[in-house]
Structure 1
Amino acid sequence: MPNKLHRHPPNPQASASASFEGVVLPHLDAAYNLARWLARDDTDAQDVVQEALLRALRYYASFHGGDARVWLLAIVRNTFYSLRMKVPADGVHEAFDDEMHAPPDEQPGPEAQTLLALDVGSLQRALENLPHPLREAIVLRELEECSYKEIASITGQKIGTVMSRLARARERLRLELSCPSKEARQHDVP
């Protein structure tokens, strides 16, 4: 007669945790990127992502498939705005780490490096100057490559609103980047 092994019943919490790790955690970089652009501060972005992941884990049972990236980005966005409501407006950090968002190092020459630094810095400043709704739309579309439908799902807006915000964000960026800055005008030769 074969020996009967005592089997323990499967632990549903362990399998849910493993499922969460496999489905949600691959999108951690996208979550941090969105949080970083919304919060404009590394520490605040880390706090937003940490709180968002806790919320995502807590409500993972309510996730019934679909696009986990969109689901997580929606949680990150909502977490940012709910945490922002708790902090007075003067407590918002406006610092920005230029090195974090610098382009990959492809060893351009000194002149190209100077021009590239001016261009990247100008784009970063232009993005920072956008109001939150426009900035989040352009970051989700251009940096996270979300579709209009995904952005609508993440932000809870209609697709028409998303399209309108993207058009306004692009126009404001175009205007700000096409107008020479005061610093550039100071260096112009008459």
Structure 2
Amino acid sequence: MPTEPNARPSGADAARSERFEAQVVPYLDAAYNLAFWLAHNPADAQDVVQEAMLRALRYFDSFHGGDVRVWLLAIVRNTFYTLRGRGLPDALHEELDDDIHPLVDDAPSPEAVTLLAVDVGALQAALERLPAPLREILVLRELEECSYKEIAGITGQKIGTVMSRLARARERLRNELTCRPKEVRRHDVR
């Protein structure tokens, strides 16, 4: 007997869906943020998050308490490395045409946008130049504000390893940012 494709789940399935939406969906932005910094590409990040959310839903019954954000970010990380191992199709690496889809920001002045772009662009470029293990530790700690214990749970590493990688990642990022030519340093732009 076929079921309606848009039919709402009933009973236990409905309760499970409601719990999933209440507990996991609020961390969708954090999942995308991690996926983006791992994949370096918005389209790939969306694919990783979509697959990770499907996996999270599929295995939601195996989640028995703890921090759901850590659980979800671990799934996102593992999904990225699984998909990367398979090799993502080249079509997923195509960028959107900025002329067709321009970013519109009317609030700040052009000068403020330029100064901010120099800083943000330099930080993003420096972060992208870091090796993946260092970049993921920085993203989890500084952008997602995960504790050392949470990062250890997400990455499957010991807390000491997390702490030493974080120290190395911060040092490498500092070196990347301070080794830029003087012309592009913000304090030289007046």
Determine the structure 1 residue equivalent to 2:5.
none
Taking the aligned partners of 1:110 and 1:167, their CA distance within structure 2 comes to: 36
Taking the aligned partners of 2:87 and 2:11, their CA distance within structure 1 comes to: 39
Taking the aligned partners of 1:97 and 1:68, their CA distance within structure 2 comes to: 36
1:162 has 2:123 as partner: no
Task: Please tell me the residue identity of whatever aligns with 2:46.
Answer: Q
Determine the structure 1 residue equivalent to 2:4.
none
Matched ranges for 1:83-122 at <5 A: 83-87=83-87, 93=93, 107=108, 110-122=110-122
Taking the aligned partners of 2:134 and 2:97, their CA distance within structure 1 comes to: 21
Task: Please tell me the residue identity of whatever aligns with 2:55.
Answer: R
Determine the structure 1 residue equivalent to 2:177.
177
Question: SS where residue 53 of structure 1 aligns?
Answer: helix
Determine the structure 1 residue equivalent to 2:44.
44
**Which structure's CA Rg is the greater one?**
1
Q: Structure 1 pair 92/172, CA: closer, same or farther in 2 (3 Å)?
A: farther
Determine the structure 2 residue equivalent to 1:4.
none
Percent of pairs identical after alignment? 71
Determine the structure 2 residue equivalent to 1:72.
72
Deviations 1:59-110 (CA, angstroms, capped at 9, x unpaired): 1111001111010000000000010000079898496999xxx9x9862x55
Question: SS where residue 145 of structure 1 aligns?
Answer: coil
Q: Contact 1:40–1:95 (CA<8 Å) still a contact in 2? A: no
How far is the alpha carbon of 1:40 from its aligned partner? 0.9
Q: Structure 1 pair 135/90, CA: closer, same or farther in 2 (3 Å)?
A: farther
Q: Structure 1 pair 21/122, CA: closer, same or farther in 2 (3 Å)?
A: same
Question: SS where residue 65 of structure 1 aligns?
Answer: coil
How far is the alpha carbon of 1:24 from its aligned partner? 0.6
TM-score by length of 1: 0.80
Q: Structure 1 pair 96/137, CA: closer, same or farther in 2 (3 Å)?
A: farther
How far is the alpha carbon of 1:167 from its aligned partner? 0.7
Q: Contact 1:31–1:72 (CA<8 Å) still a contact in 2? A: yes
Matched ranges for 1:12-27 at <5 A: 12-27=12-27
Q: Structure 1 pair 183/82, CA: closer, same or farther in 2 (3 Å)?
A: farther
How far is the alpha carbon of 1:14 from its aligned partner? 1.4
Task: Please tell me the residue identity of whatever aligns with 1:77.
Answer: R
Q: Contact 2:118–2:184 (CA<8 Å) still a contact in 1? A: no
How far is the alpha carbon of 1:18 from its aligned partner? 1.1
Unaligned runs of 5+ residues in structure 1 are: 1-9
Unaligned runs of 5+ residues in structure 2 are: 1-9
RMSD (Å) for aligned C-alpha atoms: 3.0
Task: Please tell me the residue identity of whatever aligns with 1:159.
Answer: I
Deviations 1:135-154 (CA, angstroms, capped at 9, x unpaired): 00000000000001100000
Taking the aligned partners of 2:175 and 2:91, their CA distance within structure 1 comes to: 30
Q: Contact 2:43–2:93 (CA<8 Å) still a contact in 1? A: no
How far is the alpha carbon of 1:182 from its aligned partner? 8.0
TM-score by length of 2: 0.80
